[in-house]
Structure 1
Amino acid sequence: MRSEAGSIGPASALPWWKGVGGIVVLIAALLVLSLCSILVGASQIDLRNVFDADSDDIVSKVLFTSRIPRTLALLLAGASMAVAGMIMQMIARNRFVEPATVGTVGSASLGMLVVALVSPGLPMIGKMLVAALFALAGTGLFMLILHRLPLRTALLVPLVGLVFAGMIEAITSFLAYRFEMLQAIRAWTTGDFSAVLQGRYELLWISLALTVAAFFAADRFTVIGMGESVATNLGVHYGRWMLVGLVIVAMVTASIVVTVGTIPFLGLIVPNLVSLWMGDRMRRSVIWVALCGAALMLLCDIVGRLVIHPYEIPIGTIMGVLGSSLFLVFLWRKRAELG
């Protein structure tokens, strides 16, 4: 794990661009991207018409029923998925893992398929809880496999994670094919915010609450990221906080998969980029990770809406291309460091 000089010092010792000043600039950029997200789309919207009493009510309906909920969903999903990836990296003690590469996302998708086969009328909150249980079981199984690896080199862990995630996806695809739901499961797991409307994204507020909880537990996650012996010597219950981290990752992943589908590699690239800038202390960098994750989601979604306007490319596709490219760059840099 990387660290940086001064990372354990007081916040006042940081340069302004790494402290409050940098966060203010990032929030300002986030507000600009949010405004662009609200205005960009197939339907043209002029904000002046929203407050015009004589304007057609369709403008207000598009804005408050579709555009604003979609922007809020992007912000919530981006921030929470990035923080979940950061927690996953702390728990696994490896920079090259995130929920999509260790089977968490695949397990949540498998849970959704089971719900569709057994109880298709289950409410959204019920679907999320079932998906969260499957995600927790899948992530726990990966951690058990990881614990039994004889050599935990930096490059071996993501390789095992990708193989494990591929196995989960193969099981899901087989069951979907067997029960003629292959096309449905593909549609569910493709990250796409075009169908987000008012009343269909509110589960993501649960992921925000979990992200806030992760902020308050940041110091403990940092400690368990140093290993069980160090955590025990510092008075942190390793097993308990490991379970807390896994539950947060599973529930955040489930809420996002149930609402908008799979967003690959976001939880990998954002924590790594922020770590290069801020170091590894989670308490200091978690706000940056959340804000950068939200900003990256907004940016990719805007690009997807503009490339073939008035049509759009699903954000899962945009993030998959960007994330996989950066993932390979990170692996190449680590291989170079190892010689």
Structure 2
Amino acid sequence: MTPLDTVRRRRLTGLLLLTTLLGLAIVAGVTVGARSLAPGTVYDAVHHALACPGGPFSCAADSTEEQIVRGLRLPRTALALVCGLALGIAGALIQGYTRNPLADAGLLGLNAGAAFLAALSVYLFAFSAPEQYIWFAFAGALIAGLVVFGISAVGGGKASPLSLVLAGAAVTAFLQAMTNAVILLDASALDTYRFWVVGTVAGRDAEVFWQVLPFLAVGTLLSVVASPGLNLLSLGEEVARGLGVHVGRSRALGLAAVVLLSGAATAAVGPIAFLGLAVPHLARVLTGPDYRRLIPYSGLLGALLLVVADILGRVVARPGELQVGVILAALGAPFFLAFVRRRKLVGL
């Protein structure tokens, strides 16, 4: 067996291991909670949900236990799965296109855009449920991403990594000021905003999951398509052009994926910056700088961390719970700092 075959085998083994761990975390996410349920009860509830003719969330629950599993645990675990996947992939893409190892969704103004329109919709229309203001949050992230990309492309005709960072910082500062003005005007907007901004999958029903799923699916597909071009862009724009890459088109494709993934996930669960920052660095240790491998590893790691954080949040503060944003910040940040000190991170 050649060294190249060994590397490929190691990467495939790692991918299978992450998939297995994620599967176990999903099972735990449906089984574990503030209220203890027998495994047989959980299995019957899931089996009944999957057997529904109109979909897993369409049939009425037969008991309180089944309502807990199907109405609460299944939707939030599914949402944590897809949003963690999206944030992990988006973090890898953002760091690649900006050439900035500290980049995350907040760097391009996506979090600030989502927060501003979410708070504004609560102030103007008195929305209180996530399925009501989620569309405004997603629209805010989308508009902010387009504005940042447009500003960064003014003048030279192309959006360079430096201009993206500078435009993102300016737009973020402006939108944060506007958000602060809105929440100071209205107490209900402040209450909704402060719960959303922490980052949580609690209180999200199946409707929220189905609302964001199409955008996350399209964004994931675009990220796969963009990964070969991002590999060549990492060699430098001139080299990439010499190899036949249309730099502007490739960067626009990747940033479209970032906006869809980060915008939809942030609208659904709030800004969870740690995933987009740390997950790509952890994945690079396993895959190296090749984005064709880095993107699936980042997605699986992001999904695994968010599902596990949701489980921990349910059990550490029984009978209440802690939001996933709090769990990830409390446990993830020290781990990431120790990781940075002990390992030489793979460069961008």
Identity fraction in percent: 26
Query: Residues of 2 paired with 1:168 and 1:335: CA distance?
Result: 36
Change (3 A) 1:133 1:42: same
Q: How does 1:1-339 map to 2 (within 5 A)?
A: 12-14=5-7, 16-19=9-12, 21-50=13-42, 57-118=63-124, 126-127=135-136, 129-137=138-146, 139-140=148-149, 165=172, 168-180=175-187, 181-205=189-213, 206-325=215-334
Give the TM-score normalised by structure 1.
Answer: 0.80
Query: Residues of 2 paired with 1:333 and 1:170: CA distance?
Result: 38
C-alpha deviation, 1:183, in angstroms: 2.8
Q: How many residues align?
A: 320
Q: Which runs of 5+ in 2 are unaligned?
A: 46-60
Query: Residues of 1 paired with 2:333 and 2:170: CA distance?
Result: 16
Query: Residues of 2 paired with 1:35 and 1:317: CA distance?
Result: 22
2:34, 2:319 within 8 Å by CA — same for their partners in 1?
Answer: yes
Change (3 A) 1:96 1:141: farther
Report Cα offsets for 1:6-38 as digits up to 9, x if no partner: 8xx6xx45253322x222222111111111111
Structure showing greater relative contact order (alpha-carbon pairs closer than 8 Å, 6 or more residues apart): 1
Change (3 A) 1:329 1:203: farther
Query: Residues of 1 paired with 2:19 and 2:346: CA distance?
Result: 34
1:18, 1:278 within 8 Å by CA — same for their partners in 2?
Answer: yes
C-alpha deviation, 1:263, in angstroms: 1.1
What SS does structure 1 have at the residue aligned with 2:208? Answer: coil
Query: Residues of 1 paired with 2:29 and 2:333: CA distance?
Result: 24
1:89, 1:95 within 8 Å by CA — same for their partners in 2?
Answer: yes
Report Cα offsets for 1:161-200 as digits up to 9, x if no partner: 7787455423321232134433332222221111122222
Change (3 A) 1:283 1:129: same
C-alpha deviation, 1:72, in angstroms: 0.9
Query: Residues of 1 paired with 2:345 and 2:170: CA distance?
Result: 23
Query: Residues of 2 paired with 1:235 and 1:261: CA distance?
Result: 39
Report Cα offsets for 1:283-330 as digits up to 9, x if no partner: 022211111111111121122112112211100112223444456567
Aligned-residue RMSD, C-alpha: 3.6
Give the TM-score normalised by structure 2.
Answer: 0.79
1:104, 1:138 within 8 Å by CA — same for their partners in 2?
Answer: no
Change (3 A) 1:240 1:116: farther
Higher-helix-fraction structure: 2
Query: Residues of 1 paired with 2:237 and 2:44: CA distance?
Result: 61
